[in-house]
């Protein structure tokens, strides 16, 4: 890159080392002197240091959810202020680490052409929590290869803020269903069956708030939906300090691209609610169903996710953990030699038992 500028970083007021956001204490923490600081304290310290350096960090009035001009023009190329090394990222990376000294860095220019997040949900679970959850997932799996949980694999856990769209919408629905009830009884001569037929009509309205859809094409939608739900009541106004010490991406999937998926999720919820209202029938068959979605609105937020990618025998296994609740999902490999050994031992045991009975 031809043009190099500074990055945003948060310095420890005590030892001047780079600070990271601590999920356990919900403050910025220093790994060198073990001090913790409130975000406002560190922000004031950084601002005072900036003023002494003669930099202009005045903020212009902007429309809601837009980046300031200072943030938009902050970077074109990235240079680590700790060691001077150049940081190379893809187009969507907004927070990362220096590959030379591992100093946490924030790259606001990656977000210059997109909306500023409305809110962020800070990490509640640490890397150690992610390791423990991974080991717990592997526990009690007799067919899991024994070397799959090696320390080398556990060290590849990455915490990142994933861009999400949260959709609010209203829905009106109506439907007609054919239902039956079956009664059976008998006397000394006959068995009887009586079937009652019903025509059910259901209609109503529902309001949905915060239906999530990840805004990154690099993240598997199935994984992101599997680690739901997130508790939105713990979200806070977005500050770049929350990104320090984690990876972060900006969205590359526009909010309008999720309309069909959000409509599908809202419809499925409504259909499940309707089925729950039809209890007590032997069968319920839909004759007609209509759902109308209206008044949709999308909010842009960053949600915490721990990711684990590991290679085993030429195949990549991916795990995702909710950085707030600790819910972990992923596929585990099978040791096929152990599988066939167990199957053979079961077969031999069954054969011996049959012979003994005979």
Q: Are 331 and 312 in contact (CB under 8 A)?
A: no
Q: Which two tokens stand for residue 130?
A: 């992610």
C-alpha 19/C-alpha 33 separation (Å) is: 10
Arithmetic mean of pLDDT, 296-314:
85
Q: 293 pairs with which residues across the strands?
A: 171
DSSP 13-59: TTT-PBEEEETTTTEEEETTT--EE-HHHHHHHHHHHHHHHT-----
Q: Which two tokens stand for residue 45?
A: 């310290």
C-alpha 299/C-alpha 258 separation (Å) is: 12
Instruction: Indicate the pLDDT class of residue 114, thresholds 50, 70 and 90.
Output: low
CA 187, 188, 191 angle in degrees (round to 5)? Answer: 50
C-alpha 285/C-alpha 73 separation (Å) is: 59
**Among candidates 220, 216, 170, 231, which has minimal Cα distance to 331?**
220
Q: Are 288 and 176 in contact (CB under 8 A)?
A: yes
For residue range 226-260, list pLDDT tens digits in order: 999 999 999 999 888 888 888 887 888 888 888 88
In which element (H, E) is residue 262 found? Answer: helix 259-276
For residue range 24-75, list pLDDT tens digits in order: 778 778 877 777 877 777 777 666 665 554 444 343 433 445 656 655 554 4
Cis peptide before 229 (omega within 30 of 0): yes
For residue range 91-110, list pLDDT tens digits in order: 556 556 554 455 555 555 55
**Count of CB atoms within 10 A of residue 166's CB?**
22
Which pTM does this prediction carry?
0.69
**Among candidates 81, 77, 74, which has minimal Cα distance to 56?**
74
Instruction: Indicate the pLDDT class of residue 342, thresholds 50, 70 and 90.
Output: low
Which has the higher per-residue pLDDT, 332 or 351? 332
**Count of CB atoms within 10 A of residue 334's CB?**
12
């Amino acid at each position: 890159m031809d043009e190099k500028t500074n990055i945003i970083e948060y310095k420890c007021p005590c030892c001047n080392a780079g600070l990271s956001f601590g999920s356990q204490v919900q403050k910025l923490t220093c790994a060198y002197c073990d001090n913790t600081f409130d975000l406002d304290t560190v922000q004031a310290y950084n601002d005072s240091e900036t003023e002494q350096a003669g930099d202009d960090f005045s903020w212009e009035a902007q429309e809601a959810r837009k980046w300031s001009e200072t943030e938009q023009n902050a970077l074109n190329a990235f240079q680590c202020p700790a060691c001077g090394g150049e940081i190379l990222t893809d187009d969507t990376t907004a927070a990362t680490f220096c590959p030379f000294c591992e100093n946490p860095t924030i790259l606001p220019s990656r977000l210059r052409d997109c909306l500023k997040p409305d809110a962020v949900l800070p990490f509640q679970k640490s890397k150690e929590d992610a390791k423990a959850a991974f080991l717990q997932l592997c526990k009690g799996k007799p067919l899991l290869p024994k070397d799959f949980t090696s320390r080398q694999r556990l060290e590849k856990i990455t915490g990142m803020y994933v861009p999400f769209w949260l959709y609010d919408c209203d829905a009106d629905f109506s439907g007609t269903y054919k239902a039956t009830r079956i009664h059976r009884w008998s006397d000394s001569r006959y068995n009887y069956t009586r079937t009652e037929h019903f025509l059910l009509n259901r209609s109503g309205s529902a309001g949905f708030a915060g239906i999530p859809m990840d805004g990154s094409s690099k993240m598997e939608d199935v994984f992101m939906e599997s680690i739901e739900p997130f508790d939105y009541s713990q979200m806070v106004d977005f500050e770049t300090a929350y990104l320090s010490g984690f990876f972060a991406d900006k969205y590359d999937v526009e909010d309008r691209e999720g309309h069909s998926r959000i409509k599908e999720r809202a419809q499925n919820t409504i259909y499940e609610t309707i089925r729950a209202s039809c209890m007590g029938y032997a069968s319920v068959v839909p004759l007609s169903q209509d759902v109308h979605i209206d008044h949709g609105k999308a909010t842009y937020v960053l949600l915490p996710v721990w990711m684990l990618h590991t290679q085993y025998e030429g195949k990549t296994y991916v795990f995702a953990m909710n950085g707030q609740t600790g819910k972990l999902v992923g596929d585990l490999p099978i040791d096929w030699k152990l599988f066939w050994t167990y199957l053979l031992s079961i077969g031999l045991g069954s054969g011996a038992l049959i012979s003994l009975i005979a």
